Amino acid sequence: MEYVFRAFGLSKRYKKQLAVNETDMTISRGDIYGFVGENGSGKTTIIRLITGLIFPSSGYFELFGAKNTSAEIGAARRKLGAIVESPSIYMNMSAYDNLKLQCALLGLPADDRIAATLEEVGLGELLHEKKHASNFSLGMRQRLGIAMALIGSPEFLILDEPMNGLDPAGIVEIRELILKLNRERNITFLISSHILSELSLIATKYGIISKGHVIKEITAAQLQEEMSKTTDITAEDPEALYTLMEELGQEKVRRIPGGIRLSGEVNYNELLSAIIARGIVISSVNCRESSIEEYYLETIGGKRA
């Protein structure tokens, strides 16, 4: 497996504040890595470390195999595109002029790559438009920001809250663009977002960070398994119900007030038939599937104030 980014005991301290605390991360080529954490959890600090805007206090990371302290890290970063916090757009310039300036900063010929990049992000109609970016919608600015990150043909693209503030149509447009770039150009993504339900539609892997430490990394398939269905059954005799579940070999069972909770798929015909045959009177049966938000809160230890 080819790794695009790996962190080993990475830490960043600002005087008395430990913004990133001995954290490890692994992003493989082709991943859409959903970076999840509460405000102040350290997401943007790690993004700033990767992009070279700040430097680690301890620990290290590798980008495309190049250690952050090596001479090769500069070449590795040329394979990287990023939007940190908000797109770096000049509001008094047109889309074309923004991209032309970005090409100049990267030492690239403007040639026809500007037209191709604008077309790729769905802004082809702005190629000859003189309107300044200050007059664009938020969604258009976000797509222009992605175009500026794409102009250097990156293999790894970091987007910090790309859907923040967008209306539903804008969110769908950004989501489809990310999936397209990942599928057609095999671009690896690190996406920081608070919109967990939206991340769940695109992410192939998640990193959950809290208090500066990545406490869990999990693939989308593993997450789906861990977010399995639960069935709550209450009865007039909860202890008899629990005993029956043990006898039936139900491994994922635990007590709840007035009954039991089963995790995973359940054969309801067999289960309810066995309960009725034992003469246990059922009060209620409630089936549900946990959301990614609930899973996240449970992982970090509950709701934040």
Percent of the chain with pLDDT over 70: 98
Radius of gyration of the chain (CA): 24
Q: Tell me: the pLDDT tens digits for 111-129?
A: 788 999 999 998 999 998 9
Could you give the CA distance from residue 278 to residue 191 in angstroms, rounded to a whole number?
52
In the predicted structure, residue 87 carries a pLDDT above the cut 90: no
**Calpha distance 284→234 (Å, rounded):** 5
Indicate if the pLDDT at residue 305 is higher than 70.
no
Contacts of 243 (CB under 8 A, 6+ apart): none
Domain 3-224 classified CATH 3.40.50.1820?
no
Q: Per-domain residue ranges for the chain? A: 3-224, 228-289
Mean predicted confidence (pLDDT) in 248-255: 86
Tally Cβ neighbours within 10 Å of residue 218. 18
Greatest mean pLDDT among 54-63, 77-86, 256-265, 286-295: 54-63
Q: Is the pLDDT of residue 304 over 80?
A: no
* pLDDT band, residue 232 (cuts 50/70/90): very high
Decide: 48 and 85 in contact? Cβ < 8 Å: no
Q: What pLDDT score does 303 carry?
A: 47
Count CB atoms within 10 A of the CB of residue 32: 22
- Alpha-carbon span 71 to 23, nearest angstrom: 23
Q: What is the mean pLDDT of residues 200-214?
A: 94
Residue whose tokens read 């406490």: 215
From the DSSP assignment, how many helices (H) and strands (E) are in the chain?
A: 11, 14
Per-residue pLDDT, 226:
76
Residue 191: is its pLDDT beyond 60? Answer: yes
Section 88-100 average pLDDT: 93
**Residue 236, pLDDT score:** 93
Can you tell me the mean pLDDT for 28-44?
93
Q: Which helix (H) or strand (E) holds 21?
A: strand 17-28
Given this structure, which CATH class describes domain 228-289?
alpha beta
Token representation of residue 19: 């913004």
| 158-183 pLDDT tens trace | 999 888 888 888 888 889 999 999 99
| Neighbouring-strand partners of residue 156 | 80, 188
pLDDT of residue 163: 85
In the numeric block, which tokens belong to residue 42? 């350290």
- Span 295-300, mean pLDDT? 84
Cα–Cα distance list, 84 to 1, 92, 161, 295 (Å): 27, 20, 8, 27
- Provide, rounded to the nearest whole percent, the portion of the chain with pLDDT above 90: 65
**pTM for the model:** 0.81
Q: What is the pLDDT of residue 302?
A: 60
| One fold for 3-224 and 228-289 | no
Residue 55 token pair: 């430097």
